[in-house]
């Protein structure tokens, strides 16, 4: 799974073959992906689930601290910080941020990933807590901004991960600072004025 994730992150999902994954993992058997995961899509889903489990475990801790907070920043933090903290836990180099961007660009995998994520109780509770603080924002606008927030979080994490892996100097000194900046941006995104048209 680690070898596949690295290849997917660096080359893209479509460009990587099952043979390349087996070779990168040091396996002589070119059918290893099919044997263990059924297909390349099954492998991608397994990688996504593995990281989602770790991220949602972190989110549980943030939710416990957030409890019944009336501060929208706390709820956005529950949305943003688990991803950044999980990537920090992975060390350097890591590939999950870049892999996640690749997976979310695939229409089928994207739909599967979103459906599976929304079934996870910690994320559901986070989204419900956030929604309770956004009642003044129309539902359709909220949905659009949630999509924007997802892209912003994914891309920002992937860019920092790439900078760290390439040793070219990340924009922020730490994943914690990245989470702070993302929290600021996502709060601003959700609370931005809504343009009304006649």
Assign 191 to helix, strand or coil.
Answer: helix
* Residue 27 predicted with pLDDT over 80: no
Q: How confident is the model at residue 87 (pLDDT cuts 50, 70, 90)?
A: very high
Mean pLDDT over 87-107 rounds to 93
Residue pair 13/102 in contact (Cβ under 8 Å)? The answer is yes
Q: Long-range contacts: 145-151, Cβ < 8 Å, 24+?
A: 145/189, 145/190, 145/192, 148/189, 149/79, 149/186, 149/189, 149/190, 150/104
The CA distances from residue 69 to 75, 77, 150, in Å, are: 8, 11, 22
Cα–chain-centroid distance for residue 20?
25
Q: How confident is the model at residue 112 (pLDDT cuts 50, 70, 90)?
A: confident
Q: Tell me how far apart the alpha carbons of residues 140 and 80 are, in angstroms, rounded to a whole number.
A: 21
Q: How confident is the model at residue 193 (pLDDT cuts 50, 70, 90)?
A: very high
pTM of the model as a whole = 0.91
Within 8 A by CB and 6+ apart from 82, the residues are 55, 56, 58, 59, 62
Residue pair 186/148 in contact (Cβ under 8 Å)? The answer is no
3-state SS string over 29-93? CCCHHHHHHCCHHHHHHHHHHHHHHHHHHHHHHHHHHHCCCCCHHHHHHHHHHHHHHHHHHHCCC
Torsion of CA 77, 79, 80, 86, to 10 degrees: 110
Burial class of residue 191 (count of CB atoms within 10 Å of its CB; 0-12, 13-18, 19+): middle
- Residues 119-176 have pLDDT tens digits of 899 999 999 999 999 999 999 999 999 999 999 999 999 999 999 999 887 777 899 9
pLDDT over 70, % of the chain: 100
Mean pLDDT over 21-26 rounds to 86
Closest CA to 133 of 68, 86, 82: 68
Q: Tell me how far apart the alpha carbons of residues 62 and 60 are, in angstroms, rounded to a whole number.
A: 5
Q: How confident is the model at residue 94 (pLDDT cuts 50, 70, 90)?
A: very high
């Amino acid at each position: 799974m680690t070898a596949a994730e690295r290849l997917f992150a660096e080359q893209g999902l479509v460009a990587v073959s099952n043979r390349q994954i087996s070779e990168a993992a040091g396996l002589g058997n070119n059918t290893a992906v099919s044997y263990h995961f059924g297909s390349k899509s099954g492998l991608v889903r397994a990688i996504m689930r593995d990281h989602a489990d770790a991220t949602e475990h972190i989110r549980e801790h943030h939710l416990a601290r957030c409890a019944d907070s009336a501060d929208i920043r706390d709820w956005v933090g529950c949305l943003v910080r688990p991803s950044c903290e999980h990537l920090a836990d992975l060390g350097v180099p890591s590939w999950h941020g870049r892999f996640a961007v690749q997976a979310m660009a695939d229409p089928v995998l994207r739909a599967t990933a979103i459906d599976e994520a929304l079934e996870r109780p910690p994320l559901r509770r986070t989204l419900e807590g956030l929604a309770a603080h956004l009642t003044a924002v129309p539902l359709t606008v909220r949905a659009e901004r949630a999509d924007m927030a997802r892209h912003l979080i994914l891309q920002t994490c992937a860019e920092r991960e790439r900078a760290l892996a390439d040793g070219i100097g990340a924009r922020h000194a730490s994943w914690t600072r990245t989470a702070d900046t993302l929290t600021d941006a996502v709060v601003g995104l959700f609370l931005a004025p809504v343009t009304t048209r006649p």
